[in-house]
Structure 1
Amino acid sequence: MTLTSPESARADRVATRRTVLMCRPDFYTVSYRINPWMHPEDPTDTSVALAQWQTLHDLYASLGYAIELIDPEPGLPDMVYAANGGFTLDGIAYGARFQYPERGPEGPAYMRWFAEHGFEVREPVSVNEGEGDFLLVGDTILAGTGFRSDAGSHDELRRIFDREVLTLRLVNPSFYHLDTALAVLDPDPEHPAIAYLPSAFDPASLDLLEERYPGSVQVDDADAAVLGLNSFSDGRNVVIATRATGFEQSLRDRGFVPHGVDLSELLLGGGGVKCCTLELRR
């Protein structure tokens, strides 16, 4: 774990109340393989997944977050990974268009929910998997590509939201979404803070990250391998995988308050804390 900033410790971290969308894993199982984490030949336990998800839900409630729920649908075991369902900003919801047909119906399901809850919905033309690949830092959207969301979706983001969009190319198939390889710790445009796994990005993307966000936390392979970077932060509190102990210490050193949760059952489907969490920005 590397800390490269002279401002490595701050005592003035401020939590900002978040509003999130979640989906209970009532139908969670691993019945197909669309990422390296999934092994349908190995059994999963839906009851364990539900208990672990509930722990995450209750932790968010204890931190004062507003939690909204979308009903899970039979036949969509990955719907629990709400982050992939779209990207919201300024009261607009840009819908998801999944690469794999197994997840295809999730896109319309989430768009229906957005429309029913007051968002102006923009249907996607390009393949994209929502906040799995789109992360907001200040007024800039960091946008991943390489495995799931294609670069055309980045152009759609620019047109829809009129924000700067920085394209980052992922090169490690185990970290196929941006939110598995990069975490936004503080989106404040005056003091942005991120963490990332250097080996997950191509050289041009690494240069861009180092230029735009000097002093970021660089997470090692061990913590990334338990999806430690698939975390959720309110600017002070950071919810992470329990087993990402090196990352946890780096967060403490920076003045953040880490909260570890065990989502090991959901990890079998390739998801962690952030995958289960879609931020709603109205």
Structure 2
Amino acid sequence: MSRVYTSVDQIDFNISDLPTMPVPSKVLMVKPTYFDVEYVINPHMKGQIGDVDKMQAQNEWNHLAEGFKELGLNVEILEGKEGLPDMVFCANQSLPFIGREGTKKAVMGIMKTTQRKPEVEAIENWFRTQGYEILHLDENKIQTFEGMGDAIWHFKRQLLWGGHGFRSSLNAYEQISDKLEVPVIALPLTDETFYHLDTCMCILNESSALIYPSAFSDEGLEMIRAMFENVITATKYEAEKLLAVNAVCPDGKNVFIQQGSTDVNKKLRDAGFSVHEFSTYEFLKSGGSVFCMKLLYW
């Protein structure tokens, strides 16, 4: 039976009640060999077609990959594919999961745009080499689901936060909840600039999250504030222009974030986090940053 929560009064559990889930120790990254802005499918891409400095993009990608390695994560590199410039954003095509018995599963996405649909098969084929059980949503019932772009695991808990409205359908979470036997807190997104949940919510640890409040409905904000003791907020400029919330905190302590996010970085440091800045300016042109450029898995 699916458990999808859409308002704070429906939430009938505490975080501490939920089964634990290990922190991922591996990172998938897709080489940016074919990365470019070739079309416009989100507001960040407007006016950017053909403007990517590919050498600089490769340098930025290399620096981020080295950062994950220095943090002790095992970085797996997958070749990009010609004709799929956005495959470099490998958080979007799937949702990996590890069960209490150590069983590994991957729910494959249903990309909204025609340009990105072939990416899913490429990532699915890679998951098969990693020993994952592949799960598909019913495309006769589900219109769209863009993986960890919209579906984000609570830190160390079997609880899924699910964004919907622009790239993922609300009813996708009913099937995901059934298939994985986990609760889902569904958050409607209200601003097309923040088209994925990972652009406006970064889960830092079990009790802390970084968000851009204006991207959510009042009901969504209520649920976020009810489940996190410490909610750090980003300014409009840093959230929109620097994609500061598209950060990642793999271990609950170290935050990887776009360079220059001054206000957010101070708030993170004041809250006890170690901040590591990375230049992702070339990838910002396509509407993605640190979180989008990797997939954490087990």
Do they fold alike, i.e. is TM over 0.5?
yes
Alpha-carbon contact 2:165-2:189 (below 8 Å) kept: yes
Q: Shift of residue 156 of structure 1?
A: 1.7
Answer yes or no: is 1:104 the counterpart of 2:120: no
Give the secondary structure class of the aligned counterpart of 1:80. coil
Q: Shift of residue 115 of structure 1?
A: 1.1
Q: What is aligned with 2:5? A: none
Give the secondary structure class of the aligned counterpart of 1:204. helix
Q: Distance in 2 between matches of 1:261 and 1:196?
A: 19
Q: Distance in 2 between matches of 1:241 and 1:182?
A: 14
Q: Shift of residue 166 of structure 1?
A: 0.4
Give the secondary structure class of the aligned counterpart of 2:126. helix
Q: What is aligned with 2:223? A: 208
> Which digits, 9 at most, give the CA deviation of each residue in 1:197-223, with x for residues without a partner?
110001111111122224311221122
Alpha-carbon contact 2:163-2:196 (below 8 Å) kept: yes
Counterpart amino acid of residue 44 in structure 2: W
User: Which of 20, 30, 35 is the matching residue for 2:27?
Assistant: 20
Answer yes or no: is 1:46 the counterpart of 2:63: no
Answer yes or no: is 1:231 the counterpart of 2:247: yes
Q: What is aligned with 1:124? A: 137
> Which digits, 9 at most, give the CA deviation of each residue in 1:225-281, with x for residues without a partner?
211110111211110011111111111111110100000001101100000011103
Unpaired stretches in structure 2, ≥5 consecutive residues: 1-22, 99-103
Alpha-carbon contact 2:164-2:187 (below 8 Å) kept: yes
Answer yes or no: is 1:251 the counterpart of 2:251: no
Alpha-carbon contact 2:90-2:294 (below 8 Å) kept: yes
Answer yes or no: is 1:268 the counterpart of 2:285: yes
Q: What is aligned with 1:73? A: 81
Shift in alpha-carbon separation, 1:42–1:106, aligned structure 2, 3 A: closer
Q: Distance in 1 between matches of 2:110 and 2:78?
A: 18
Q: What is aligned with 1:10? A: none
Q: What is aligned with 2:209? A: 194
Q: Shift of residue 152 of structure 1?
A: 1.8
% identity of equivalent residues = 31
Q: Shift of residue 171 of structure 1?
A: 0.6
Answer yes or no: is 1:63 the counterpart of 2:48: no
Answer yes or no: is 1:164 the counterpart of 2:183: yes
RMSD: 1.2
User: Which of 76, 80, 95 is the matching residue for 1:87?
Assistant: 95
Give the secondary structure class of the aligned counterpart of 1:259. strand
Q: Distance in 2 between matches of 1:141 and 1:278?
A: 16
Alpha-carbon contact 2:108-2:120 (below 8 Å) kept: yes
User: Which of 29, 32, 38 is the matching residue for 1:31?
Assistant: 38
Q: What is aligned with 1:6? A: none
Q: What is aligned with 2:203? A: 184
Q: Shift of residue 41 of structure 1?
A: 4.0
Alpha-carbon contact 1:227-1:241 (below 8 Å) kept: yes
Alpha-carbon contact 1:81-1:271 (below 8 Å) kept: yes
Greater shift in the superposed pair: 260-269 or 34-43: 34-43
Q: How many residues align?
A: 262
Alpha-carbon contact 1:181-1:230 (below 8 Å) kept: yes
Q: Shift of residue 20 of structure 1?
A: 1.1
Give the secondary structure class of the aligned counterpart of 2:43. coil
For normalisation by structure 2, the TM-score amounts to 0.85
Alpha-carbon contact 1:17-1:64 (below 8 Å) kept: no
Q: Shift of residue 18 of structure 1?
A: 2.9
Q: Distance in 1 between matches of 2:167 and 2:238?
A: 23
Give the secondary structure class of the aligned counterpart of 1:231. coil
Q: What is aligned with 2:163? A: 144
Runs of 4+ in 1 over 6 A off after TM superposition: none
